[in-house]
Amino acid sequence: MNDMPQMGMGTFRLEGSQARQAVVDALSVGFRHIDTAQFYGNESEVGDAIQTSGLSRSDIFVTTKVWYESLGEDQFMASVHESLEKLKLEYVDLLLIHWPYPGDDITLESYLGRLKQVKEIGLARHIGVSNFTIDQLDQAEKILGKGELYTNQIELHPFMQNRAVVEACREKDIKITAYMPFAVGKVMKDDTLISIGAKYDASPAQVVLSWMEKRHIYAIPSSTSKTHLAENLAYGGVQLSEEDLTAIDELDNGERIVDPDFAPKWD
């Protein structure tokens, strides 16, 4: 599969047999993009699920991410090989830098160079970044050249729409992938999203996914419920009006959920 599907299954916080079963369920209901990371500690389980799915490799889009502690010259390539071994794959479709490196001892230029090398030797078909600021995207484009970064995966949901970063990505033709699209369940309790959903006999989650597609934002929601996975995938039946889209746009209040101490200075 050459292009990233509009929606993938996120696996953050899923571990052990629960992670394996959730990915098995996701693939069985029709998901074709699975997103994992070295830091999640579940690449082996994701790999098991892909192997037992019966799907051919070319039908599945797999993303993983290099953790910031593995960005140095000694660890980078070894960590990628370890990820592939755990995933039981010869290549990933998309390899991301999970977080920009927070210190001064490893330069952006050096680890982006290593990222590009992974693609050049065929271990990743696309490369990208996650949690990068506008300034870091500018620098990355200077280092790698235009069109090299496939996506910037960022926290994005109705309450934190990250518009400046989204705009910067659009200008650079970098796809925007939203993690935590449901704001850790907060969308399910939002009156605006509930009332829009009621009009279409849809869940607030389906409303948010439909809004994201209309705004050209890719999404990787996470769920361990096969029913919810199937519901998420069926969001395409929800055709939001311009009025609905505007109402969701207006929910933005800059409420950031993910902000670890090693995070960059956000835009």
**CA–CA separation, 261 vs 83, rounded Å?**
25
Catalytic residue among 40, 150, 218, 235: 40
Beta strands 9-10; 218-219: pairing state:
unpaired
Per-residue confidence (pLDDT) for residue 209, from 0 to 100:
98
**Above pLDDT 90, what percent of the chain?**
99
Per-residue confidence (pLDDT) for residue 2, from 0 to 100:
81
Across 234-248, average pLDDT: 95
**CA–CA separation, 149 vs 170, rounded Å?**
12
Across 156-161, average pLDDT: 98
* Alpha helices per DSSP H over 101-255: 108-120, 134-144, 163-171, 191-200, 204-214, 226-233, 242-249
Question: Is 33 assigned to a binding site?
Answer: no
Q: What is the DSSP string of 89-124?
A: -S-EEEEEESS---SSSS-HHHHHHHHHHHHHTTSE
Across 235-239, average pLDDT: 92
- Answer yes or no: 101 catalytic: no
**CA–CA separation, 90 vs 232, rounded Å?**
29
CB atoms within 10 A of CB 149: 27
CATH of 9-184+216-223, one of 3.40.50.2020, 3.30.70.20, 3.20.20.100, 3.30.2270.10: 3.20.20.100
pLDDT tens digits, residue range 64-118? 999 999 999 999 999 999 999 999 999 999 999 999 999 999 999 999 999 999 9
Is the pLDDT assigned to residue 1 strictly greater than 90? no
